[in-house]
Amino acid sequence: MQFCPYDGTLLQVHIFAQGTPASELRFFCPLCPYIHSPKKKHALDVPTTRKKIDDIMGGDAAWENVDRTAVTCPACSHGEAFFMQLQIRSADEPMTTFFKCAKTGCGHRWNE
């Protein structure tokens, strides 16, 4: 990002003579007549890694001692699932029920 040296506004990009072999990028200020034509191209490759997502439900250990109920899994239509209830909102809101399909191999999770 570049800023205007006169008023500090974020410079916008304009492609001058687009479609021609001599096309170039120009930075311009939308508030004043300042225009900057960079002499060389600036490119910076920054390697990124995806942040590890923590399981807020406590992982597989949280589902070890939970009850079962008769409910249909939306993924595989199995008729039984594990469930647990947690208070995730304020005290005057109802508890949220979390389900995990009891069918071996499915393990689909959803909530109500």
Beta-strand relationship, 96-101 and 12-16:
unpaired
29 is in an annotated binding site: yes
Q: Note whether 71 and 107 are same-domain residues.
A: yes
40 is in an annotated binding site: no
Question: What are the pLDDT digits (tens) for 51-107?
Answer: 887 776 677 788 888 999 999 999 999 999 999 998 888 889 899 999 999 998 898
Whether residue 4 contacts residue 29, with contact meaning beta carbons closer than 8 Å, is answered with yes
CA distance 66 to 41: 59
Q: pTM of the predicted model, to two decimals?
A: 0.50
Q: Note whether 35 and 65 are same-domain residues.
A: no
13 is in an annotated binding site: no
106 is in an annotated binding site: yes
56 is in an annotated binding site: no
Question: Does residue 30 form part of some domain?
Answer: yes
Residue 23's pLDDT is 62
Question: What are the pLDDT digits (tens) for 5-32?
Answer: 999 999 998 877 666 555 677 889 999 9
Whichever domain contains 96, its CATH number is 2.20.25.10
Q: Note whether 26 and 67 are same-domain residues.
A: no
First to last CA, the chain: 44
Q: Based on the structure, what is the number of domains in the chain?
A: 2
Q: Note whether 28 and 65 are same-domain residues.
A: no
75 lies in which domain range?
61-111
17 is in an annotated binding site: no
CA atoms in the 13 A half-sphere facing the CB of 20: 8
Residue 42's pLDDT is 59
